[in-house]
Structure 1
Amino acid sequence: MLPTPYIKCDYDTVYEPSEDSFLLLDTLEEELPYLESRFKNRLSVVCELGPGSGIVTTFLMQNGIPSKNQSIYFAADISPWALDATLDAAKRNKCEKSYLEPIQSDLNRCIKSKEVDLLIFNPPYVPAEEVPAVPTTKEERDEWLDLALLGGTDGMVVTNKVLDQLDIILSPTGVAYILFCARNKPEQIVERMSRDGWSMELIMHRKAGWEVLSVYRFTR
C-alpha cells in the first residue's frame, strides 16, 4: 500500500481531503501497473487541475507516478490558496527532488498544447444554481472555498469546459482520470464522449455518505 501524504493547511480556504480525494488516490494506486507500462522509459508531463490541498499531486510525486524520476508536475488552479497549499504539501512530504510548477490559471487559459500525458481532475461537482464568481482578492476566504465545491447545473459546468478541451490538452497517448458524482449523470457523459472518439472506462466507484462517486479513465 502506497503512503498517503501528510497534509496540514487552512481548510477555510481549500478543500479538505475527503472521500473523493482518497478515491482518486486508490484509483491511481490501482492503475499504477497500467501507467508504468504506458509511460515506461520516457519523460511524462503530469497536470492536476484544481489541486486544492495538494494531496493528489503530492501523492503522485511521492510515489513517482507515472514514471519514476522521469516526470514533471504541474498544478493548475485559479485559487492562490490552493497553490500555496500544494507547494506546502510537497515540502512537508519531502518531494524536493520532483519538479513541480504551480500555475494560477482558469480553465480557459490552462495548458492546451497536447503535451499532458497524465491529467487528474477532481472538479467542483456539487450541483448549484450557478458557478460562483472568482473572488477579487485573496482575503475572500469563503468565496474561494465555494469555487472549489460548486459546479453549476448538474455540477457539470466546470467539468464540461475540461471535457471540451481534452483533445487540445492531452498528448496523443495521454490519459485523463476525472471524478464524477452520480448527480453529474456520468452515463450520459460516456455516451457523448464516445461519439467524439473517446474511450471512457469506469475504474473505481464508491458510496460516500449519500453520494456515489466514480473515477473514469479517458483515452483516445
Structure 2
Amino acid sequence: MIPTPDLSHLTKEDFEHVYEPAEDTFLLLDALEVDAQDLKNIAPTICLEIGSGSGCVLSFIGGILGPSTLYLSTDINPHACRCTRSTGAQNKVSIDPINVGFASPLYNRLKHAVDLIVFNPPYVPTFEDEVRGAQDTRDIQGSWAGGLDGMGVTGVFLEHVEELLSLHARFYLVAVKDNNLPKIQQNMLKKHGLQSEVVLQRRAGREHLFVLRFVRNVM
C-alpha cells in the first residue's frame, strides 16, 4: 500500500485558502494506486497536475514514479502553489508549480509531450456568476464552484488536454454524476480521439464520485 503524503506541515490557516484533501482526493489516490504498476511501466517523463491545491496528489504520484519524472503543477491560487511546493519538499518530491489557470503557457512548449495528467476540478454545479467570481478571487472558492452542470471549468480544459498528451499518455479526471459522464466520454472520443473508462467510483454523502481514465484511441 502506497502511503498517503504527509501534510503535517500545512496549517489550519493554509486550509482557509487551499482545498483540504477530502473524499474526492482520496478516490483519485486510490485510482492511481490501482494503476500504479501500469504507470510505472509507462515510465512518464513529464507529469502534470491541473489545480494542484495542497500538492497531495502530485506528491502521491511522486511516491509511485520516483525522481526520474519531472513533476509540474498549475493552480490559479498562489496559496496553492506555495503549498504544493512545500508538500512536495515534505515528501521528498521535487514539484515545479506554475501560478496560472489550466496550462496555458504549456500548450505550445509541451505539445504532445506530457505522459501523465491529473485533474480534480471544481465540479459542483453552481450559478455561472459564482464560477467567474471564484476564479477572479483566485482563492479556495475556485476549488469547488463548477458552473452549469459543474462543467464550467472542466469543459475549458477538456478542449485542450489532447494537445498536451503524448502518444502513450494517461489522463485522470475526477467527476460527479451531475457532470453527465456519458456526454463527457462521448465528446472526448468523438472530438479528440480519447477513449475512456471509469477506474473507480464511490458515494460520499450526496455525491457520487468517479475517476475517469482517458487514453488515445488506438483503433
Q: After TM superposition, which residue ranges in structure 1, 4 or more long, deviate above 4 angstroms?
A: none
**1:64–1:71: 8 Å Cα contact kept in structure 2?**
no
Work out whether 1:202 is the aligned partner of 2:198. Answer: yes
> What's 2:24 paired with?
20
Residue among 168, 178, 189 paired with 2:173: 178
In the alignment, does 2:51 pair up with 1:50? yes
Corresponding residue for residue 5 of structure 2: 5
- What CA RMSD, in Å, does the superposition of the two structures yield over aligned residues? 1.5
Q: 1:117 touches 1:173 (CA, 8 Å); kept in 2?
A: yes
- 2:56 and 2:40 map into 1 onto residues whose CA distance is 21
Give yes or no for contact 1:132–1:146 (8 Å, CA) kept in 2. Answer: no
Identity of aligned residues (%): 36
After TM superposition, give the deviation of residue 69 of structure 1 in Å: 3.1
2:84 maps to a residue whose letter is T
| 8 A Cα contact 2:2 2:64, kept in partner | no
Structure 1 residue 162 and structure 2 residue 163: aligned? no
Structure 2 SS opposite 1:64: helix
Matched position secondary structure for 1:17: coil
Per-residue deviation, 1:99:
3.4
The alpha-carbon deviation at position 186 of structure 1 amounts to 0.7
Gaps of 5+ in 2: none
Map 1:1-220; keep pairs closer than 5 Å.
1-7=1-7, 8-9=10-11, 10-39=14-43, 44-61=45-62, 63-65=63-65, 68-93=66-91, 95=92, 98-107=93-102, 109-112=104-107, 113-130=111-128, 131-133=131-133, 134-135=135-136, 144-196=139-191, 197-220=193-216
Quick one: distance in 1 between partners of 2:140 and 2:26?
19
| TM-fit CA distance, 1:203 | 0.4
- Residue type of the partner of 1:125? Y
1:15-63 deviation per Cα after TM superposition (whole angstroms, max 9, x unaligned): 1100000001101111011112223xxx5100000011111011112x1
Deviation by residue 1:158-211 (Cα, 9 ceiling, x = unmatched): 111111001111112211000001110111111222212211111000001111
Structure-2 separation of matches of 1:205 and 1:110: 32
**C-alpha contact (below 8 Å) 1:76/1:110 kept by paired residues:** no
- Whole-angstrom distance in 2 between the partners of 1:215 and 1:46: 17
C-alpha contact 2:118 2:172 (8 A) present in aligned 1: yes
